[in-house]
Structure 1
Amino acid sequence: MSKPLSFYRSYFLSKTMSFLRRRNGTDSSKTRVADPNIKKDGADDDDKKKDQYKIPQRRNYGSKKWSCWDNCCWFIGFICSIWWFCLFLYNTMPDSIPQFVTMAITGPLPDPPGVKLRKEGLTANHPVVLVPGVVTGGLELWEGRHCAEGLLGKRLWGGSFGEFYKRPLCWLEHISLDNDTGFDPPGIRVRPVTGLVAADYFATGYFVWAVVIANLAHIGYEEKSLYMAAYDWRLSFQNTEIRDQSLTRIKSNIELLVATHGGKKVVVLPHSMGVQYFLHFMKWVETPAPRGGGGGPDWCAKHIKAIMNIGAPFLGSPKSIALHFSIEVRDIAALRAQAPGLLDKDVLGLQTFKHLMRMFRTWDATFSMIPKGGETIWGGLDWSPETETVNNSAKKGTDNSTRNTGGNGNICNTKGVNYGRLISFSKDWAETHSSKIERVDFKHVAKGDKLTNSSNCDIWLEYHEMGNRAIKAVADHKVYTAGSILDLLHYVAPKLMARGASHFSYGIADDLDDPKYDQYKYWSNPLETKLPNAPDMEIYSLYGVGLPTERGYIYKVAPPSDCSIPFQIDTSVDGDSEDSCLKGGVFSGDGDETVPIISAGFMCAKGWRGKTRFNPSGIRTYNREYKHAPPANLLEGRGTQSGSHVDLLGNFALIEDVLRVAAGATGEDIGGDRVYSDIFKWSERINIKL
Structure 2
Amino acid sequence: MALSKRNRTSKDQQETSNQADESTTVTPHRSDSKDQLRHEVDALKKKTQRPFYRTGRFLFPFGISLGLLLGFAFVEPQDIHELHAQVTTLANSYDINLPQLPEIDLSRVEIEWTRFRSSIPEVWKFNNDGREFQVGENMKNRGLSAEYPVVLVPGIISTALESWSTAPEYRPFFREKVWGGFNMLSQVTFNKERWIAAMMLDPVTGLDPEDSKVRAAEGLDAASSLIQGYWVWSKIIENLAVVNYDTNNLYLAPYDWRLSFYNLEERDGYFSKLKYTIESLRKRQRKKVVVAAHSMGCSVLLVIFVRLSSPDSLSSSYPSSFKWVESPDHGNGGSDWVERHIESYISIAGTHLGVAKAMAAFLSGEMKDTVQMNPAGAYVLERFFSRKERQTLFRSWAGSASMWIKGGNAVWGNDTHAPDDDCDATHSHSHGHLISFRPDATAPDDKSSKNMTSVDASDWILEHTPVTFQKMLESNYSNGIERDEKQLKRNNADHRKWSNPLEVSLPYAPSMKIYCVYGHGKETERSYLYARGQYSQSESFPDAENAKCLDSAGENCTNPRPPLDMPLERLSWIDAAYSNETAKIRNGVKMGEGDGTVSLLSLGAMCVEGWKRKRWNPAGIPITTVELPHRPNPTIPRGGANTSDHVDILGSTGLNEIILKVATGAGHEIQDSFVSNIREYAQKIQWD
Q: Does 1:581 align with 2:618?
A: no
Q: Is the 8 A contact 1:336 1:343 kept in 2?
A: no
Are residues 191 and 427 of structure 1, via their aligned partners in 2, closer, same or farther at CA, if it must alter by over 3 Å?
same
Q: Secondary structure at the match of 2:292?
A: strand
Structure 2 CA distance for aligned equivalents of residues 416 and 623 of structure 1: 33
Q: Is the 8 A contact 1:625 1:675 kept in 2?
A: yes
The equivalent residue for 1:606 is 609
Q: Secondary structure at the match of 1:601?
A: helix
The equivalent residue for 1:194 is 218
List aligned pairs for 1:550-565, cutoff 5 A.
550-560=525-535
Q: Which amino acid aligns with 2:388?
A: K
Q: Does 1:317 align with 2:351?
A: no
The equivalent residue for 1:363 is 397
Q: Does 1:177 align with 2:201?
A: yes
Which of 460, 470, 495 is residue 520 of structure 1 equivalent to?
495
Q: Is the 8 A contact 2:483 2:687 kept in 1?
A: no
Structure 1 CA distance for aligned equivalents of residues 305 and 517 of structure 2: 19
The equivalent residue for 2:268 is 244
Q: Does 1:568 align with 2:580?
A: no
Q: Secondary structure at the match of 2:291?
A: strand
C-alpha deviation, 1:229, in angstroms: 1.0
Are residues 415 and 655 of structure 1, via their aligned partners in 2, closer, same or farther at CA, if it must alter by over 3 Å?
farther
Q: Secondary structure at the match of 2:429?
A: coil
Q: Which amino acid aligns with 1:320?
A: A
Deviation digits for residues 94-115 of structure 1, max 9, x if unmatched?
Answer: 96x6569999xxx997972111
The equivalent residue for 1:419 is 431
Q: Which amino acid aligns with 2:344?
A: A
Q: Which amino acid aligns with 1:133?
A: G
C-alpha deviation, 1:305, in angstroms: 0.8
Answer with 1 or 2: which has the greater Rg. Answer: 1
Q: Which amino acid aligns with 1:328?
A: E
Q: Does 1:223 align with 2:237?
A: no
Are residues 629 and 339 of structure 1, via their aligned partners in 2, closer, same or farther at CA, if it must alter by over 3 Å?
closer
CA RMSD in angstroms, aligned pairs only: 3.5
Q: Is the 8 A contact 1:344 1:354 kept in 2?
A: no
Deviation digits for residues 210-257 of structure 1, max 9, x if unmatched?
Answer: 111011111111011111111111000111111110000000000111
Structure 2 CA distance for aligned equivalents of residues 283 and 73 of structure 1: 58
Are residues 164 and 73 of structure 1, via their aligned partners in 2, closer, same or farther at CA, if it must alter by over 3 Å?
closer
Q: Does 1:680 align with 2:679?
A: yes
List aligned pairs for 1:113-192, cutoff 5 A.
113-160=135-182, 161=184, 162-192=186-216
C-alpha deviation, 1:182, in angstroms: 0.4
Are residues 166 and 685 of structure 1, via their aligned partners in 2, closer, same or farther at CA, if it must alter by over 3 Å?
same
Q: What is the TM-score with the length of structure 2 in the denominator?
A: 0.73
Are residues 311 and 69 of structure 1, via their aligned partners in 2, closer, same or farther at CA, if it must alter by over 3 Å?
closer
Which of 450, 453, 460 is residue 478 of structure 1 equivalent to?
450
Are residues 101 and 361 of structure 1, via their aligned partners in 2, closer, same or farther at CA, if it must alter by over 3 Å?
closer
Q: Secondary structure at the match of 2:683?
A: helix
The equivalent residue for 1:265 is 288
Structure 2 CA distance for aligned equivalents of residues 401 and 356 of structure 1: 36
Structure 2 CA distance for aligned equivalents of residues 101 and 239 of structure 1: 42
Which of 624, 627, 630 is residue 625 of structure 1 equivalent to?
627
Q: Secondary structure at the match of 1:479?
A: coil
Q: Which amino acid aligns with 2:624?
A: Y
5+ residue gaps, structure 2: 1-55, 74-107, 315-321, 326-330, 539-568
C-alpha deviation, 1:91, in angstroms: 1.7
Q: Secondary structure at the match of 2:626?
A: strand
Q: Secondary structure at the match of 1:623?
A: strand
Q: Which amino acid aligns with 1:501?
A: E
Which of 521, 525, 540 is residue 546 of structure 1 equivalent to?
521
List aligned pairs for 1:376-455, cutoff 5 A.
376-387=410-421, 400-401=423-424, 417-426=429-438
The equivalent residue for 1:44 is none
Q: Secondary structure at the match of 2:344?
A: strand
Structure 1 CA distance for aligned equivalents of residues 300 and 285 of structure 2: 25
The equivalent residue for 1:487 is 459
Are residues 77 and 382 of structure 1, via their aligned partners in 2, closer, same or farther at CA, if it must alter by over 3 Å?
closer
Structure 2 CA distance for aligned equivalents of residues 143 and 422 of structure 1: 41
Structure 2 CA distance for aligned equivalents of residues 387 and 80 of structure 1: 47
Are residues 174 and 336 of structure 1, via their aligned partners in 2, closer, same or farther at CA, if it must alter by over 3 Å?
farther
C-alpha deviation, 1:338, in angstroms: 4.9
Which of 290, 304, 307 is residue 323 of structure 2 equivalent to?
290
Q: Which amino acid aligns with 2:646?
A: H
Deviation digits for residues 571-606 of structure 1, max 9, x if unmatched?
Answer: 1111153xx411111101111111111111011100
Q: Is the 8 A contact 1:90 1:98 kept in 2?
A: no
The equivalent residue for 1:212 is 236
The equivalent residue for 1:615 is 617
Structure 1 CA distance for aligned equivalents of residues 65 and 664 of structure 2: 54
Q: Which amino acid aligns with 1:370?
A: W
Structure 2 CA distance for aligned equivalents of residues 682 and 533 of structure 1: 27
The equivalent residue for 1:26 is none
Are residues 472 and 316 of structure 1, via their aligned partners in 2, closer, same or farther at CA, if it must alter by over 3 Å?
same
Are residues 339 and 227 of structure 1, via their aligned partners in 2, closer, same or farther at CA, if it must alter by over 3 Å?
closer
Which of 464, 468, 473 is residue 500 of structure 1 equivalent to?
473
Structure 2 CA distance for aligned equivalents of residues 675 and 241 of structure 1: 37
Q: Is the 8 A contact 1:427 1:573 kept in 2?
A: no
Are residues 589 and 70 of structure 1, via their aligned partners in 2, closer, same or farther at CA, if it must alter by over 3 Å?
closer
Q: Is the 8 A contact 1:557 1:567 kept in 2?
A: yes
Q: Is the 8 A contact 1:334 1:584 kept in 2?
A: yes
Structure 1 CA distance for aligned equivalents of residues 382 and 428 of structure 2: 34
Q: Is the 8 A contact 1:574 1:582 kept in 2?
A: yes
C-alpha deviation, 1:687, in angstroms: 2.3
List aligned pairs for 1:14-53, cutoff 5 A.
none
Q: Is the 8 A contact 2:638 2:648 kept in 1?
A: no
C-alpha deviation, 1:479, in angstroms: 1.0
Q: Which amino acid aligns with 1:313?
A: T
Which of 273, 276, 279 is residue 299 of structure 2 equivalent to?
276
Q: Is the 8 A contact 1:336 1:342 kept in 2?
A: no
Which of 480, 483, 488 is residue 510 of structure 1 equivalent to?
483
Are residues 343 and 78 of structure 1, via their aligned partners in 2, closer, same or farther at CA, if it must alter by over 3 Å?
closer
Q: Is the 8 A contact 1:401 1:415 kept in 2?
A: no
The equivalent residue for 1:537 is 512
Deviation digits for residues 525-548 of structure 1, max 9, x if unmatched?
Answer: 000001101001111111110000
Q: Which amino acid aligns with 2:200?
A: S
Are residues 276 and 637 of structure 1, via their aligned partners in 2, closer, same or farther at CA, if it must alter by over 3 Å?
closer
C-alpha deviation, 1:180, in angstroms: 0.5
C-alpha deviation, 1:623, in angstroms: 1.1
Q: Which deviates more from structure 2 when the two are superposed, residues 520-529 or residues 553-562?
A: 553-562
Structure 2 CA distance for aligned equivalents of residues 335 and 74 of structure 1: 21
Q: Which amino acid aligns with 1:487?
A: D
Which of 307, 312, 316 is residue 345 of structure 2 equivalent to?
307
5+ residue gaps, structure 1: 1-67, 389-399, 403-413, 430-438, 440-467
C-alpha deviation, 1:553, in angstroms: 0.4
Q: Secondary structure at the match of 1:385?
A: coil
Are residues 633 and 290 of structure 1, via their aligned partners in 2, closer, same or farther at CA, if it must alter by over 3 Å?
same
Q: Secondary structure at the match of 2:573?
A: strand
C-alpha deviation, 1:317, in angstroms: 0.8
Q: How many residues align?
A: 546
